[in-house]
Homo-oligomer: A and B are copies of this chain.
């Protein structure tokens, strides 16, 4: 295999700034909670214009490692934070909309991730987690619940178990993937033939999932969540088919 040549791509200023800040992060110089100097001071120190600096900060903000606050006082200015979830969610949502990933890809990824989540959750879930799941379950049982509200609660149910697995990375990935198909799921639910029956069926599975996690049956929960996801995604694919045919 021959060496692959790459075009040189002259680095843009904001990329240099970015690189410089990232190095600080990698070196441990910048930790969560630290504040950056004000833009008007930092820009000349780095030898770039304020606009270039701001573009770099915007990038860091969309990655979820920085927030900016107007005003004075200790909370003002640009601060390093750790908030990957929104960033990852937006990323996957957009790419899914653009067709970077097929529905089948998302299905398999959800199965893989949520199997792992539920497996671990069966060993790690706290009493608070279980109580919250119970609460969500009860609210989803309301027959008068609208489709959109159901979808919201269903998302929270799945994300809750991902969080309770104790693994923040898997949790982030799981909820981002779940979020990315959220609009699609909403549309599918809206066009369900018999919505009350669909909701009841999903809820029965949710209740059983909760029971398995509570009793510590990780393998059982993993198997059931796989069936749960495959079953529902199956109707999604059917729905998509019907739409494409029309």
Interface residues of A in 152-188 (CB under 8 A from B): 167-170, 172-173, 177, 183
Which of A62, A64, A169, A173: most chain B Cβ within 10 A? A169
> What's the minimum C-beta distance from A149 to chain B, rounded to whole angstroms?
13
Interface string of A58-98 (1 = CB under 8 A from B): 11001111000000000000001010100110111011011
Whose C-beta in chain B lies nearest to the C-beta of A105? B169
> Is the Cβ of B100 less than 8 Å from the Cβ of A14?
no
> Is the Cβ of B167 less than 8 Å from the Cβ of A108?
yes
- Assess A112 versus B25: contact at CB under 8 Å? Given A59-B59, A95-B65, A98-B80: no
> Is the Cβ of B91 less than 8 Å from the Cβ of A84?
yes
From B14, B94, B99, B177, contact of A63 by CB (8 A): B94
- The total of chain A residues at the interface (CB under 8 A) is 53
From B28, B64, B98, B113, contact of A31 by CB (8 A): B98
A1 at interface (Cβ–Cβ under 8 A)? yes
> What's the minimum C-beta distance from A242 to chain B, rounded to whole angstroms?
18
Please provide the 5 A-B residue pairs with the shortest distance between their CB atoms, ordered closest to farther: A105-B169, A82-B100, A112-B116, A101-B169, A109-B169
A-B contact sample (9 more), CB < 8 A, given A25-B94, A100-B168, A108-B116: A1-B135, A22-B94, A32-B98, A32-B99, A63-B91, A65-B94, A82-B98, A101-B168, A105-B170
